[in-house]
Amino acid sequence: MILLCLTWGFNQVAIKLVLPEIPPLTQAALRSVGGLIVISLVAALRGVPLFTRDGTLRAGLWVGVLFGLEFVLMFRGLVWTTASRAVVFLYTAPFFVAFGSYQFLGERLSGVQWLGLLLSFAGVAVAIGVPQPNVDAMVLLGDAMMIGAGSLWAATTLVVKASRLRSAPAEKGLGYQLAVSIPILGLGAWLSGESMTRFPGTLAVSLMAYQAVWVVGATFLLWFMLVKTYSASKLSAFTFLTPLFGVAAGHFILDEPLTLAFGGAAILVTAGLYLVNRPAPRVTDPLLNQPKT
């Protein structure tokens, strides 16, 4: 779980490092293509049927559209905001899931979880509202797009929780998302006028392979394998490490500024994430906090 959290925290940094050579939506579309190939190979090796009729098509198309739009916002948002800020705002998603489960699925939240939601949104308010160096209107627009991406990630999770996808193999659920996102991201890249003037360098190609094979193709499936063996609530509690790893990676690898105000906001969001997913005696739904791939 620590390795997976480190992977998810570094993911925004990897995207930022590739942006100078591969435009954002082109990068996202290529990543989905590579991830879909990996997932298809894994499904074939494990004997998981991807094309049998099981009543998941409609829900699968819905989650695919949400997934595609999520990454339109995420990759475009990373053009304007920093990787450190992006990972904090993106990881508001579990709070949207918790609130959406309470509002639409009738699930009850404990007092500790409500406190976690409060701390989380207080952290977001601090991160956006307190004046900080190098934060202008475009950075705030990127922040807003990351929050939008987090809310779409949450919506995807809620659709899965409320549909037959809940019991479908992980490879099929992720396959829907990747397959439907490819034309959405490709269309977005075309409408944005994105183009590549030369073949990407070694670093960009390596990081694209890292995203497609490891981040998209492996970590999601590893998460579900862990859930089958260990307590889902205890595993979910580990995810509070992801924003911390993301902020650290942005600061040390990309030399992004880390102010006292933003550091405090990141701690509030992280504390809220831990409380929302805090291990409890009752069984916690493993879909409450799916990893961000």
The answer on pLDDT for 173 being more than 70 is yes
pLDDT (0 to 100) of residue 286:
45
Q: How many residues does the chain have?
A: 293
Q: Residues near 124 by Cβ (< 8 Å), separated by ≥ 6?
A: 88, 89, 92, 147, 265, 269
Taking Cα atoms as reference points, which of 133, 25, 30 lies closest to residue 78? 25
* Token code pair at residue 114: 């409500």
The answer on pLDDT for 217 being more than 60 is yes
Q: Residues near 237 by Cβ (< 8 Å), separated by ≥ 6?
A: 274, 277, 278, 279
DSSP-H helix ranges across the chain: 2-18, 24-46, 57-80, 83-90, 93-104, 111-129, 137-161, 170-191, 202-209, 220-229, 232-237, 241-253, 260-276
Longest dimension (CA), the chain: 56
Cα–Cα dist 62/24, whole Å: 23
Check if the beta carbon of residue 60 is closer than 8 Å to that of residue 181.
Answer: no
The answer on pLDDT for 228 being more than 70 is no
pLDDT (0 to 100) of residue 239:
75
Check if the beta carbon of residue 37 is closer than 8 Å to that of residue 158.
Answer: no
Q: Give this prediction's pTM.
A: 0.86
pLDDT (0 to 100) of residue 211:
94
pLDDT tens figures, 111-132: 888 888 888 888 888 887 766 6
Mean of pLDDT over the chain: 87
pLDDT tens figures, 42-73: 999 999 999 999 999 999 999 999 999 999 99
Taking Cα atoms as reference points, which of 284, 161, 289, 175 lies closest to residue 223? 289
Phi first, then psi: what are they for 117, rounded to 5°? -60, -40
pLDDT (0 to 100) of residue 279:
59
The answer on pLDDT for 152 being more than 60 is yes
* Token code pair at residue 127: 């991160």
Residue 135, sorted as left (phi over 0), alpha (psi -120 to 50) or beta, turns out to be beta
pLDDT band at 288 (very low <50, low <70, confident <90, very high): very low
pLDDT tens figures, 262-286: 888 888 888 888 888 775 544 444 4
Q: At what angle do helices 57-80 and 83-90 cross, to 10 degrees?
A: 150
Check if the beta carbon of residue 217 is closer than 8 Å to that of residue 43.
Answer: no
Cα–Cα dist 211/290, whole Å: 17
What residues does each domain of the chain span? 2-276
The residue to which tokens 């650290």 are assigned:
248
The answer on pLDDT for 27 being more than 80 is yes
* Per-range mean pLDDT, top range of 29-38, 222-231, 276-285: 29-38
Q: Residues near 164 by Cβ (< 8 Å), separated by ≥ 6?
A: 54, 55, 56, 59
pLDDT tens figures, 180-212: 999 999 999 999 999 998 999 999 999 999 999
